[in-house]
Chains A and B, each alone.
Chain A
């Protein structure tokens, strides 16, 4: 039974070994911890900004996306979007926004699990958090595309504005508006977390792989 458990979660570090090489084993745990915290903190920062500039809005219009809500001139942008038949922004990624905080908490716990598990399977636990930023941008693109390509044909300006794919990052344009989109601090925090998880894994394997091999040798010797 212990064998099965150990082959899943990897060997525990013997007390004298831990005392002798404390740094070696603490490093991946610490890095994972920082990564987890960064991911958690990112909830409170914007992931994405868009500025929309047009002559009659000298101060611009701003749209800010957090993982769980939209902020900025949503009402005004929705008001303008109704002319081209775009659905209200609040209807985009509603599910993702509803579950995002729980997802991040779950990822937080999974990465904590990855620190506890010393086998290779730890990779699986850290994978969601490591790929989260990529997932975010893919999802964002999906919704922008869906919204842009599915304009209400009965809208006032249907005849003059054809379906289009809004620019997710960088400069774009629609009608008299120029758009500038970029990632926000929250996104970069998540990316930092993601990079740290990869770095953490290098240290994780460097620390636990020898232990794992020793355990296997010992088992082989026993059998």
Chain B
């Protein structure tokens, strides 16, 4: 009876051994996978401890390069080694370039541009391809308007915080709004305001991106109408448009959007309320004088006429009430667009005014939504309004009267919380996590740090509502932007001064100089707030920018599948697959199905007849990150950027006979130059093509 027992023991032992071996192999497998993937990766940073000889060497370099200790500290705070990623991404308007720029912070490296209102050939934006729809939407009254003046980007928000999904950008010159999908950093939609030619207060979003707000600016006859300036008060109007955003489609839902008619004051910047002030938004105005200029007739120029009065009007708009009025049909159609008229706004209690000094610029809501900060521009103060006081004043009808259009004006002293004297030319305000506000001072060329009151008073060591410190910036600061500094939860740490003039900061670049994006370290309290980096922006004059924590962005590395249409953000049934390439013809309509892969196009020869209507479909078969191809046909104004997985379609009329090389315009591989082919446009019968050096005949 002993043997079986021994056998059983041996068997058990064996099973345990095998099971153990099995487990170790399988768990080892997962670890090994990780280990293999790490082989090519970055080396981990080690804690630094400088040796005496290294200190000596650093000191020598610093002295040779004339750097002081602060400079070395600034370098250490901003220098980002190769392969290391930035903590924040700054999405900046591009001003007259019509684009958006993405910049890494704190390195201040330009990551890329995003074409929006202006054709841009690198991105193949507006040179054939799927983006042609964008060009189509750039037409105004049938005329292509191929540039924009981008002013204010707005990241989409959820509960008042950036969610990293979409970016909106306004075009001041033409009152348009662009929608960028941040999965592929690509413009998906452009809408043109049907009421006004130009605007200014775009784009600002409500706390859950229910609406994108577009405030107007210069009074006009709504719907692109005409009236002489003598009829300014009667016929000219301002407006603010509420564009409904459909997050699932990633598009503005024009059919559910509407506008509010406003008096012909020049509405300026806007900001949506949040938390305590959720449901409201605020728009500044100037020229409540309703000056009509006419310096050529001996009248005071606009700059004087529009600056005469001591007070302008802060527009307080209850957008939930406005939405209800729109849904109840209390609108008038102007140029096919629903507008809530002024009398309705007054009757429904949608619109109230509060006096504000004096031709102010920015209105910015504190993170808790309690306070609205209005920057004086021509007044050395910022004026702080309390939403509680505003609500109480509206409920208690504490009006000092109404304006010429019947809009009730709230009693200034009843709604004002504080006024803080900061300096000359206050324009815009941002916030941090320590209870400070930061206001740009244009004339002083400085960033002012000042202390908030109320629930913020306990967060900082200073008295509430007091100027704490001013850091000079170079020069003429316009907007400023703190890390997530206009959300419900600002991060502090970094602040960008968008300085309009650079004058002597960089090497001279001819009479046209770059702007200067200056990075300020705002991580500490009190008077410590140094400038630590200057980035010249030589590609347009940006206005506002927003800084988002990089890990909030869910950016695609390549398109999800081969044959992806970025316009529809799905697989396109028309995308040619490998093996389906070829050229087919129906009458004078030619369909080219092409694939691209390193380092060739299929097919390489495409033959059409002069006058043929060509539809050219290209799929890139690439799936590797950064394996982008270009596709250009010279003289036909065609250049596409075909990014890994992307499908594109270009249509043109082959109206000029000849031999046209097409080639890949993005250096894709060692045999990139060989990635080409020919488009042969055969001349119509009886007509010879131009040119040629045929020496064999005759």
A45 at the interface (CB under 8 A from B): yes
With A45-B29, A76-B623, A188-B25 known as contacts, the answer to whether A27 contacts B40 (CB < 8 A) is: no
B37 and A60: CB pair below 8 A?
yes
Cβ of A57 within 8 Å of any chain B Cβ, yes or no, is yes
Judging by beta carbons under 8 Å apart, are B4 and A21 in contact? yes
8 Å CB contact of A53 from B3, B39, B622, B671: B39
With a 10 A CB-CB cut-off, give which of B25, B37, B83 has the most chain A CB atoms: B25
Smallest Cβ-Cβ distance to B674: which chain A residue: A156
B322-344 contacts to A (CB < 8 Å)? none
**Distance, CA A85 to CA B25, complexed state (A):** 36
Cβ-neighbour of A49 out of B6, B36, B83 (below 8 A): B36
Interface: B290 (CB within 8 A): no
Using Cβ atoms and an 8 Å threshold, which residues of chain B touch A46?
Answer: 29
Q: Give the interface SS of chain A, mostly helix, strand, loop or mixed.
A: helix
Q: Does A38 make an interface contact (CB < 8 A)?
A: yes
Of the four ranges (under 10, 10 to 19, 20 to 34, 35 or more), the interface on chain B belongs to: 20 to 34
Instruction: Considering the complex, give the chain B residue whose CB is closest to the CB of A54.
Output: B40
Q: Do residues A24 and B26 form an inter-chain contact, with CB atoms below 8 A? A: no
Inter-chain contact B18/A196, CB cutoff 8 Å: yes
CB of B73 within 8 A of chain A?
A: no
- Contact among A24, A156, A184, A188 with B671 in the assembled complex (CB-CB below 8 Å): A156
0/1 string, B654-688, CB within 8 A of A gives 1: 00000000000000001100100000000000000
CA–CA, A188 and B623, complex, Å: 32
Whether B26 lies near A185 (C-beta < 8 A) is yes
**In the complex the two chains form, what is the Cα distance from A198 to B48 in whole Å?**
57
What residues on A are CB-neighbors of B597 within 8 Å? 79
* 8 Å CB interface, B8-40 against A: 8, 10-11, 14-15, 18, 21-22, 25-26, 28-29, 32, 36-37, 39-40
Q: Mark A177-190, 1 if CB is under 8 A from B, else 0.
A: 00010101100110
A148 → chain B, closest Cβ, in Å? 21
Contacting B at CB under 8 A, from A15-36, are 20-24, 26-27, 30-31, 34
Please tell me if B471 contacts chain A, counting CB pairs below 8 Å: no
A150 to B686 CA separation, bound complex (whole angstroms): 51
- Say whether B41 contacts A58, CB under 8 Å: yes
User: Could you tell me if A22 and B39 are in contact, using CB atoms closer than 8 angstroms?
Assistant: no
What residues of chain A lie closer than 8 Å to B28, measured between beta carbons? 185
**Are the C-beta atoms of A24 and B3 separated by less than 8 Å?**
yes
Residue B7 contacts which of A27, A45, A83, A185 (CB distance < 8 angstroms)?
A: A27
Contact of B18 among A26, A34, A58, A79 (CB under 8 A): A34
Task: Find the A residue at minimum CB distance from B21.
Answer: A192
B5 at the interface (CB under 8 A from A): yes
**Measured between alpha carbons, how far is A27 from B597 in the docked complex, in Å?**
58
B41 touches A185 (CB 8 A): no
- Hey, what's the 0/1 contact readout for B39-60 against A, CB within 8 Å counting as 1? 1110000000000000000000
Q: A62 at the A/B interface (Cβ < 8 Å)?
A: yes
A90 vs B253: C-alpha distance when bound (angstroms):
47
Complex contacts, B3 vs chain A, CB 8 Å: 21, 23-24
How far, in whole Å, are A75 and B374 apart by their CA atoms in the complex? 58
Query: Which A residues are in CB contact (< 8 Å) with B15?
Result: 30, 34
Collect the chain B residues with CB atoms within 8 Å of residue A24's CB: 3-4, 7
Q: Does B624 contact A (CB under 8 A)?
A: yes
Residue contact A51 to B36, C-beta cutoff 8 Å: yes
CB pair B11–A27 under 8 Å, yes or no, is yes
B574 on the interface (CB 8 Å rule)?
no
Q: Provide the residues of chain B in CB contact with A23, threshold 8 Å.
A: 3-8, 10-11
Give chain B residues whose Cβ lies under 8 Å from the Cβ of A60: 36-37, 39-40
Q: How far is A136 from B184 in the complex, measured between Cα atoms in Å?
A: 44
For residue A223, CB closer than 8 A to chain B, the reply is no
* Contact pick for B22, options A21, A26, A31, A38, CB 8 Å: A38
Contacts of B32 in A (CB 8 A): 182
Nearest Cβ on chain B to A104's Cβ, whole angstroms: 17
Bound: A21/B29 CA distance, A: 40
Q: Is the CB of A45 within 8 A of B26?
A: yes
Q: How far is the CA of A200 from the CA of B55 in the complex (A)?
A: 68
Partner of B14, one of A31, A51, A53, A180: A31
Q: Is the CB of B18 within 8 A of A38?
A: yes
The answer for the CA separation of A199 and B599 in the assembled complex, in Å, is 54
Is the CB of B598 closer than 8 A to any CB of chain A? yes
The A37-63 residues at the B interface (CB cut-off 8 A) are: 38, 45-46, 49, 51, 53, 57-60, 62
Give chain B interface residues in 456-481, CB to chain A under 8 Å: none
Which residue of B29, B83, B623 contacts A75 across the interface (Cβ within 8 Å)?
A: B623
In the complex, what residues of A have CB within 8 A of residue B40's CB?
53, 57-60
Can you name 30 A-B residue pairings with CB atoms under 8 Å? A23-B5, A23-B6, A23-B11, A24-B3, A30-B14, A30-B15, A31-B14, A34-B15, A46-B29, A51-B36, A53-B39, A53-B40, A57-B624, A58-B41, A58-B83, A60-B36, A60-B37, A75-B621, A75-B623, A76-B623, A76-B624, A79-B598, A83-B599, A180-B36, A185-B26, A185-B28, A185-B29, A192-B18, A192-B25, A196-B18
Known: A26-B11, A34-B18, A59-B41. 19 other contacts (CB 8 A): A21-B3, A21-B7, A22-B4, A23-B7, A24-B4, A27-B11, A30-B14, A38-B22, A45-B29, A46-B29, A51-B39, A60-B36, A75-B621, A76-B624, A83-B671, A156-B671, A185-B25, A192-B21, A192-B25
Interface residues of A (CB under 8 A from B): 20-24, 26-27, 30-31, 34, 38, 45-46, 49, 51, 53, 57-60, 62, 73, 75-76, 79, 83, 156, 180, 182, 184-185, 188-189, 192, 196, 199
